[in-house]
Amino acid sequence: MFSLTAPTQLHQRAEQYFLKENYIQAANIYEQAIETEPDVKSYYWYLGLMLLLQGQEVEAQTTWFMAMMEGEPEQVDNWNAELVTVLQTEAERREGLEEYSVAEKIRQNIKEVSPKDIHNLLHLTQLAIKLETYTGQDLQELGVIEILNSEPRIEVNLELLMEVLKSVLDYAPAHPSTLDFVAACLPHCQNNHQALLVILLPAAIAIAYSQKLPGIAAQLCELYLKLSPNNTEVVGHLAGFYQNAGQFEKGIETAKLFYSSVQELADKVFANRQILRGLMSAGGYWEESCAVHQRQESLVESLIEENPTQLDSARITRLFTANFFTPYIEDDPRKNRSIQNRLLQLCQANIANYAQEQVEKYSQGHLERKKQNKTDKKIKIGYISYCLRSHSVGWLARWLIQYHDRDKFQINAYFISTNPVLDPLHEWYIGIVDKAYKLNQVSDIAEQIYEDEIDILIDLDSITLDVSCEVIALKPAPIQATWLGWDASGCPSVDYFITDPYVLPESAQDYYKERIWRLPQTYIAVDGFEVSVPTISRAQLDIPSDAVVYLCAQRGFKRHLDITRLQLRIIKEVPNSYFLIKGISDEESIKTFFHQLAEEEGVDSSKLRFLPGVIAESVHRANLGIADVVLDTYPYNGATTTLETLWMCIPMVTRVGEQFAARNSYTMMMNAGITEGIAWTDEEYVKWGVRLGKDEALRQQIAWKLKQSRKTAPLWNGKQFTLEMEKAYEQMWQKYISS
């Protein structure tokens, strides 16, 4: 029958079998077509493809080779091109069907025929990533980088090149070949910088913050700036990447360059904040930090007065954190809360413009749900944070999540920018909540919260993360509260700030936008902490066994000039005392800062010891045991470090102020049953520090009281604390329903 069929009909018939994946029958028809018209080369190309799809790769290649064997060089070139077209078409079809293994096999054969075909090699790279066989060496082994760098420059499909670049950055950002690939892409983007920017910058941000690789993110930005050296957007982010990578001088210099390059007031606010961030992170640049802070306050006030209403999302998200460093520098909540509240009101007004549809949708949806008046249902609680992992917030919030009554509450967690590296605490959170989501985009997070019909959304990040701020501003839940992660944001869409009787003074409601919801005893409680084996000793630090050891373990942000002077005065007044200094900062600048102050205060620098960081939190806690007395910082106290100090039964001295950040240690000490070491003035701080250093019996008495407090104190009762939080949630819900 087939002998009577025309060749074109044979091809159509073969194609029908081929599409049904009957490759044997399709191959038989192509063999018959070759017998009928042996000079039609396309039959060989398709016959070889059918053999290849049956797994007969050698036979396929032999078929193609035999068809070309007697051709002239020019003919062979044309035939090769025809064969590549046939294989390319099928590879694309398989990719569309997500049959990546088949597509990869076909493209490997294209590579045999046309080894320098850059587009095929790019597709092979993409397929290796999709098949999860990509090792990072592929770009070198396939010759992609070499071909992209070749002269004269080859023509490349820019869309495909950028697509592959994005995949490589997502899949293997840390591999050395990735940076080589980016560099090789630069010349091909000379006429379209934007195409590279929209791939590179989001990738750099994700690499820096989600994957905690700021050094690589900085290198990516450096490469892009070779192409477009005046791109202020990239320069602004580069400053932050340098700072996160511990390259503080570079971070400060780049932030200053950024500031000098921008003109818009909103951009000036962000750029100045980046300078301040670098100075504060490094520690030791105190006078300059204060000057830059004063300029920041002036810039923010000017922006509030200007009151722009058409700022885009990128600018608004940067404004959320404009005042982040204020509580580290001064304790003046009446003034600073007013500035923060007005700034966040400005942000909210702009969000209401650019996200009007979403905001109105959620508001209307909440009203519709409220009409249903379901008072007897489980209350749905959502926790949103980027810190529910090995982070201070992650360590402290776990007891609340663990003890939640699942008969009364459904618990959802919305994890933002989670680190892909395995984190046992993060995995614990994922396993213990009713529903867990890992999301990064503001609209996706807000929509998921809304669709889940969360009743009360608890923000654990406040202004420490712009993504969380923007989600909260959209008001995806009818009741929203701030707890634990920082002071209240001042955002108008937040209903409550959860505190206790001590952490805010009674007058605080006068200057808070949010309603202050005070729990009866403490705003935080834990059942304890894991403690490992210490890795430091007095002998290792060349400290006599009978010495009095003081410790301050806080990052550079918190090392205010004034409190550091007070700490050094304590050291000066206590014979045979030593001061251990620990915390993330620039090593050289913080040493210079302390040595200079020690000289001014008449303290022998040989009494100072600078401790390196440790990887494990449990080791850090064990190492606290080397101290006789812990000296807290002011105007920004310790929080997690205070809890850890009290858990380790070590006496401490804290200076109490007016703002939330200046009262954390106060509430924790009160809730552990300790008043010794609580100072209300600078003079009291020094007196307590000296007294605790000289009175060993008093230190032992406090240590004993702290040990006993583990049995009864509210600070160490996570279950009771959870009951109080749940009671607050129920009251918030009833108040909302009945209003």
Global pTM exceeds 0.95:
no
Q: Do residues 488 and 567 both lie within one domain?
A: no
Q: Do residues 482 and 592 both lie within one domain?
A: no
Angle between helices 214-227 and 193-209 (to 10 degrees): 170
- Tell me how far the alpha carbon of residue 129 is from its chain's centroid: 24
Domain of 570, CATH number, reads: 3.40.50.2000
Any domain includes 410: yes
Q: What domain range is 702 assigned to?
A: 548-716
Contact between residue 327 and residue 659 where contact means Cβ atoms under 8 Å apart: yes
What's residue 421's pLDDT? Answer: 64
Any domain includes 442: yes
Any domain includes 93: no
Any domain includes 422: yes
Q: Do residues 418 and 484 both lie within one domain?
A: yes
Q: Is the pLDDT of residue 161 over 60?
A: yes
Residue at token pair 């060989």: 44
Render pLDDT for 371-408 as a digit per residue (tens, 0 to 9): 887 667 899 999 999 999 999 999 999 999 999 999 99
Render pLDDT for 310-342 as a digit per residue (tens, 0 to 9): 999 999 999 999 999 999 999 999 999 999 999
| Among 135-149, 399-413, 669-683, the least confident range | 135-149
Q: Do residues 377 and 506 both lie within one domain?
A: yes
Cα separation, 660 vs 666, in Å, equals 10
Render pLDDT for 103-145 as a digit per residue (tens, 0 to 9): 999 999 999 999 999 999 999 999 999 999 999 899 999 999 9
Angle between helices 265-282 and 286-306 (to 10 degrees): 160
Q: What is the DSSP letter of 337?
A: H
Q: Is the pLDDT of residue 183 over 70?
A: yes
pLDDT band at 18 (very low <50, low <70, confident <90, very high): confident
Cα separation, 464 vs 490, in Å, equals 13
The fraction of the chain above a pLDDT of 70, given in percent, is: 98
Any domain includes 404: yes
Q: Which residues of 180-218 are buried (b: 16+ CB within 10 A; e: fewer)?
A: bbbebbbebbeeeeebbbebbbebbbbbbbbbebbebbb
What's residue 440's pLDDT? Answer: 87
Q: Is the pLDDT of residue 565 over 90?
A: yes
Q: Do residues 554 and 514 both lie within one domain?
A: no
In angstroms and rounded to an integer, the radius of gyration of the C-alpha atoms of the chain is 32
Q: Do residues 367 and 512 both lie within one domain?
A: yes
Q: Do residues 369 and 514 both lie within one domain?
A: yes
Render pLDDT for 620-663 as a digit per residue (tens, 0 to 9): 999 999 999 999 999 999 999 999 999 999 999 999 999 999 99
Q: Do residues 386 and 470 both lie within one domain?
A: yes
The number of folded domains in the chain is 2
Q: Do residues 496 and 596 both lie within one domain?
A: no
Domain of 455, CATH number, reads: 3.40.50.11380
Contact between residue 518 and residue 660 where contact means Cβ atoms under 8 Å apart: no
SS3 state of residue 591: helix
Cα separation, 168 vs 553, in Å, equals 39
Any domain includes 413: yes
Q: Is the pLDDT of residue 5 over 50?
A: no
Q: Do residues 632 and 513 both lie within one domain?
A: no
